[in-house]
A and B are shown apart, each in its own frame.
Chain A
Amino acid sequence: MAHPIEDPAAIRSFFSLHAAPPTDHPCRGLACFAARACQPDRWDAACRSSPSVICLGQCFEGPALAGSESRPAIRCFGGEPVLLERILQRPVRSLKVYQQVGGERALQRAQQLSPEALIECIEASGLRGRGGAGFPTGRKWRAVRKSGHRPVVVVNADEGDPGAFSDRFLMEDDPHRLLDATAIAARAIGATESVIYVRCEYPTAFKMLEQALAESVVTGRLSSITIRLVSGEGSFVCGEETSLLNAIEGRRPFVRSRPPYPFQKGLWGRPTLVQNVETLCAAAWIVEHGAEAYRARGTEESAGTKLISLNSRFSRPGLVEIPFGIPLRTIVEEIGGGLANSELLGVMVGGPLAGLLPPEVLDTPFTYADLARVGGAVGHGGIIAFGRDIAIRELVAEVLRFGATESCGLCVPCHQGLAELHEAIPVVIASERDRREQRMSLDASRIKDGCSPLTHPRWLELLDVLELTSLCGHGAGIAEFLRSIERYFGQEMAECFQP
Chain B
Amino acid sequence: MLSTVNPVKIEVDGQLFVVDASRPLLSELLAAGIDLPHLCHDERLKPIGACRLCVVELEGVDRPRSACEIAPAEGLRIRTKTTRLEALRRTNLSLLARNYPPQVLDQEPNHPFHRLLTRYQIQPPSTVSGDVYCDESHPLLRIAMDRCIHCFRCVQICRDLQGADVWQVWARGPETRVVARSHQSLLEAGCVSCGACSDTCPTGAIADRNEQVAEAWTDSTCVYCGVGCQLKVGTRDRRVVSIRPAAGAVNHGHLCVKGRYGFAFNHSPERITKPLIRDAEGWREVGWDVVLDELTARLKSIMDRSSTANRSVPLGMLGSSRATNEENYYIQKFARVVLRNHHVDCCARVCHQPTAAAMKTMLGTGAATNGFDDIELARTLVIAGCNPAENHPIVGARIRQAVRRGARLIVIDPRRTELAEIADLHLAVQMGGNIPLLNAMAFAIVEEGLEDQKFIAQRVDEFETWRQSLSSFAPERVASYCGVEAEQIREAARLYASEKPAMCLHGLGITEHLQGTEGVMALVNLALLTGNLGMPGAGINPLRGQNNVQGAAHMGCEPKTLPGGQSLDLARSTFESAWGVSLSSESGLDLLQMVDAAQRRELAGIWSVGYDIFLTLANADQVARSLQELELVVVQDLFMNETAKGFAHLFLPAASVFEKDGTFMNSDRRIQRIRAALEPLGEARPDTWIIAKVAQRLGFGEHFAHNSAEAIWDEIRQVWPAGAGLSYDRLTLDAPPWPCPTSDHPGTRVLHSERFAHGTRTNFRVIPWVPSPETTMGEFPFRLSTGRHLYQFNAGTMTQRTRLVQLQSEDCLEISQGDAARLGISDGERVHVVSRHGRIELPVRLSTRVRHGELFTSFHDPALFVNRVTSPVRDRMVNAPEYKLTAVRIERIGKAGSSSRQA
Contacts and interface: CB of A to CB of B under 8 A. Distances in A.
Interface in B38-87: 46-53, 55, 63-64, 66, 68-69, 71, 87
Contacts of A237: 172
Interface of B: 46-53, 55, 63-64, 66, 68-69, 71, 87-88, 91-92, 94-96, 98-99, 125, 127-128, 150, 152, 159, 165, 168-176, 179, 181-182, 190, 404, 418, 421-422
B497 to A, nearest CB: 25
B174 A405 contact: yes
Interface in A444-499: 449-450, 452, 461-462, 464-465, 468-471
Interface residues of A, number: 46
Contacts of A416: 92, 95-96, 98, 150
Nearest to B184: A7
A493 to B, nearest CB: 19
Contact of B92 (A404, A406, A408, A412): A412
Interface string A407-418: 111111101111
Given A412-B51, A465-B95, 8 more contacts: A1-B421, A14-B171, A413-B92, A415-B150, A417-B91, A419-B173, A450-B127, A464-B88
Contacts, number: 138
A6 B125 contact: no
A contact face: mostly helix, strand, loop, or mixed: loop
B71 A452 contact: no
A465 B52 contact: yes
B558 to A, nearest CB: 40
Contact of B170 (A13, A258, A408): A13
B172 A407 contact: yes
9 A-B pairs with the lowest CB-CB distances in the bound complex, closest first = A409-B176, A257-B49, A416-B95, A419-B174, A2-B421, A10-B168, A469-B52, A405-B173, A7-B168
26 contacts: A2-B421, A3-B181, A6-B168, A7-B165, A9-B182, A13-B170, A13-B171, A14-B172, A237-B172, A257-B47, A257-B69, A404-B174, A405-B172, A405-B174, A409-B150, A412-B51, A412-B92, A412-B95, A413-B92, A416-B92, A420-B95, A450-B99, A461-B94, A464-B91, A465-B52, A469-B55
B901 to A, nearest CB: 35
A218 interface: no
A418 B172 CA distance: 12
B176 A450 contact: no
A252 interface: yes
Nearest to B416: A1
A33 to B, nearest CB: 18
A316 interface: no
B284 to A, nearest CB: 54
B173 A410 contact: no
B69 A259 contact: yes
B885 to A, nearest CB: 27
A477 B690 CA distance: 72
Contacts of A452: 125
A235 interface: yes
A406 B96 CA distance: 19
A5 interface: yes
Given A413-B95, A469-B55, A450 B128 contact: yes
Given A416-B96, A449-B128, A462-B91, A471 B50 contact: yes
B165 to A, nearest CB: 5
Nearest to A462: B91
A468 B172 contact: no
B214 to A, nearest CB: 30
A306 interface: no
Contact of A2 (B94, B159, B422): B422
B408 to A, nearest CB: 16
A422 interface: yes
Contacts of B94: 461
Contacts of B418: 2
Nearest to B52: A469
Contact of B95 (A13, A259, A417): A417
Contacts of B49: 257, 410-411, 471
A254 interface: yes
Contacts of B91: 413, 417, 461-462, 464-465
B159 A5 contact: yes
B173 A412 contact: no
Contacts of A419: 98, 173-174
Nearest to B183: A9
B73 to A, nearest CB: 11
Interface string A389-430: 000000000000000111111111101111110100000000
Contacts of A405: 172-174
A20 B14 CA distance: 57
A9 B189 CA distance: 13
Nearest to A255: B49
Contact of A10 (B69, B179, B190): B179
A13 B175 CA distance: 10
B165 A6 contact: yes
A422 B172 contact: no
A415 B92 contact: no
B443 to A, nearest CB: 31
Most A CB atoms within 10 A — which of B47, B94, B174?
B174
Given A10-B168, A410-B48, A468-B64, A404 B179 contact: no
B116 to A, nearest CB: 12
Contacts of A6: 165, 168
B421 A422 contact: no
A176 B486 CA distance: 49
B533 to A, nearest CB: 29
Nearest to B405: A269
A289 B81 CA distance: 53
B64 A469 contact: yes
Contacts of A7: 165, 168, 181-182
Given A7-B182, A9-B182, A449-B127, A412 B50 contact: yes
Nearest to B62: A468
B168 A409 contact: no
Interface in A5-33: 5-7, 9-10, 13-14
Nearest to A419: B174
A404 B95 contact: no
A411 B50 contact: yes
Given A411-B49, A413-B52, A3 B165 contact: yes
A471 B69 CA distance: 10
B50 A408 contact: no
A3 B168 contact: no
A252 B150 CA distance: 15
Given A10-B181, A257-B47, A409 B173 contact: yes
Contacts of A465: 52, 88, 91-92, 95
Contacts of A407: 172-174, 176
B419 to A, nearest CB: 9
Contacts of A464: 87-88, 91
Contacts of B98: 416, 419-420
B112 to A, nearest CB: 15
B174 A422 contact: yes
A54 to B, nearest CB: 12
B211 to A, nearest CB: 27
Q: Which of A14, A422, A462 has the most CB of B within 10 A?
A: A14
Contacts of B64: 468-469
Contacts of A257: 46-49, 66, 68-69
A1 B49 CA distance: 32
B169 A10 contact: yes
Nearest to A403: B173
Nearest to A258: B69
Contact of A406 (B173, B182, B404): B173
B190 A3 contact: yes
Interface in A214-268: 235, 237, 252, 254, 256-259
A409 B151 CA distance: 10
A3 to B, nearest CB: 7
A27 B116 CA distance: 43
